Amino acid sequence: MLIGISKTGVQNVGTFAVPIFAFLFGAKYSTGIVLILLCFADLIAVIYYRKKFIWKEVRSMLPFALFGLIIGLFVGEFIDDKAFKFLMGFCILISVLLMLWGINKSKKENGIQDFTKHWWYAPFFGLLVGFSTMIGNAAGPALTIYLLTKKLDKISLVATGAWFIMILNFSKIPLQLFVWKNLTLEGLALNVMAIPFILLGGFLGIKLVKVLPEKEFKIIILSLVIISACMLMIG
């Protein structure tokens, strides 16, 4: 249900599911289970927000994010479960530090727009988003920070994030199936049982994003980024 809410409304609330699944099934194996849940939720989100996303923001990061996927794929092959879990938390922690740095930088430059136009900005966040989504389905915080600094309204932010993550998640399916081999029939059965709860979460997310004011919406998102990072690092 949390994953459904995060895809259609309050982004990053679904990140709470990442440490829970890692605890229950092991860090690396859990990414396969969560991936299919995310793909189900992605479809709900992109169908509902199919006309609200901004393709320019997707296009600027996508090539670098796909490259980040490949880097994460190889790194995940050569580390144990304990190190894998640490990397999951580390990816979100880096996002939080970038958020704080970005806020401070934007104040000094009298406007965040100047800050986001640097040539390295989209490539860096693209690599971070791709790597973190491959390692632990933890791309939400980094992607949220990137889209927030682009000053998108809340509907465009949710829609653009949903389309971007959907492309990455469906790209990960063959990689995790044939390389990591952590997509199983048992995991798929669990995913099927979770569909009603994903649908319920998707419905609640749509309602929440409509009633939450713009300022409070962004405060909630940033707070969830910090909390989810702490959960993973401590866990």
Tell me the pLDDT tens digit for each residue of 172-215.
999 999 998 889 888 899 999 999 999 998 888 888 877 877 67
When the pLDDT of each residue in the chain is averaged and rounded to a whole number, the result is 81
Average pLDDT over residues 123-152: 83
Is it the case that residue 118 has pLDDT exceeding 70?
Answer: yes
Q: What is the pLDDT, as a whole number, of residue 115?
A: 62
Alpha helices in the chain (DSSP H): 2-8, 17-25, 27-48, 55-77, 81-108, 112-116, 121-136, 140-149, 154-175, 185-211, 214-234
Highest mean pLDDT among 31-40, 46-55, 133-142: 31-40
39-69 pLDDT, tens per residue?
988 888 888 877 777 888 888 889 999 999 9
Q: What is the pLDDT, as a whole number, of residue 99?
A: 63
Distance CA 51, CA 42 (A): 15
CB 149 within 8 A of CB 106: yes
Distance CA 35, CA 63 (A): 20
Distance CA 139, CA 92 (A): 8
pTM of the shown model: 0.81
**186's tokens:** 């048992």
Distance CA 69, CA 66 (A): 5
